[in-house]
Amino acid sequence: MYLYFFLTAVVIAVFIMTMVANKHLHIEKWKLLVFSVAAVLIGVFCAKLMRLIEEGTWIGFSFYGAVFFEPLLMVIIGLLIKMKPSDVLDLGALTGCVTLIVLKIQCKITGCCFGKILRHLDNGRPVRFPSQIVEMVCGVILLVVMMIIIRSGKQKGYVYAWFMLLYGGSRFFLNMLRETTPFVLGMSAGCFWSLIAVIVGGSFLLYRKCKEKFTVSGEK
């Protein structure tokens, strides 16, 4: 029952945000609804898949599964309902932000993704870094930034690259304030995937910059 409520809440939130962004994208509403439902379901599956890769279990979620795998599958869904890949990726940035916010709320309620112990009270109770709350706030800030980028119309097709770069960068440092275990090269899974996200997102933005430069040079 809780899972159905959770998924429904995310779908509604994603649909609302895509409707707001649609003032600048002009996509048919039924396509946005299909996109919202598919994005949430595929995002959950991808987060589960990454959890399996990291921990060898389907129990729990790893948000980076949605970050890396979901866009690839959503582009295919987009082609089936005749949505441009650039629009799918731009809206995917909003989907990622909304999913992050809701997941952090779930983390706070269920008690996971604990922050490091900062100190102990006199009664021995630990005071932890509020990682779930801080990451939720970062998700809200990212959502606002992604919406501003979409509204500007100057980064069409590259909004998701900005999402990967900004989320990866912020998550890398925030992950250092979490209780984690080593995953690769002494780094936690969160830090490792954050570096990959920064590299991938930064590479796409660098490619765009070079492409624009060469285009301008060619016109001259």
pLDDT (tens place) for every residue of the chain, 220 residues total = 566 777 788 888 889 888 888 877 888 999 999 999 999 999 889 988 998 988 888 887 888 999 999 999 999 999 999 999 999 999 999 999 998 888 888 788 877 888 898 889 888 888 999 998 999 999 999 999 999 999 888 888 899 999 999 999 999 999 999 988 888 888 899 999 999 999 999 999 998 888 877 665 555 5
User: Which of helix, strand or coil describes residue 182?
Assistant: strand
In a domain, 188, yes or no: yes
In a domain, 202, yes or no: yes
> Is-contact 65 46, C-beta < 8 A?
yes
Put simply, whether the predicted model's pTM sits higher than 0.85 gets the answer yes
Range of the domain at 147: 2-111+129-219
Question: What is the model's pLDDT at position 209?
Answer: 85
Task: Report how far apart, in Å, the C-alpha atoms of 77 and of each of 71, 93, 130, 134, 161 are.
Answer: 10, 16, 37, 33, 19
In a domain, 124, yes or no: no
Cα 211–166–11 angle (5° rounding)? 105
Question: What is the model's pLDDT at position 37?
Answer: 92
In a domain, 116, yes or no: no
Contacts of residue 134, Cβ cutoff 8 Å, sequence gap at least 6: 115, 174, 177
| Bridging pattern class, strands 182-184 and 126-128 | unpaired
User: Which of helix, strand or coil describes residue 115?
Assistant: strand
In a domain, 207, yes or no: yes
CA–CA separation, 34 and 38 (whole Å): 6
Contacts of residue 113, Cβ cutoff 8 Å, sequence gap at least 6: 104, 107, 131, 132, 135, 178
DSSP 61: -
| Per-residue tokens: 44 | 């959950």
Question: What is the model's pLDDT at position 17?
Answer: 87
Q: How many domains does the chain have?
A: 1
In a domain, 146, yes or no: yes
Contacts of residue 185, Cβ cutoff 8 Å, sequence gap at least 6: 192
User: Which of helix, strand or coil describes residue 124?
Assistant: coil
In a domain, 178, yes or no: yes
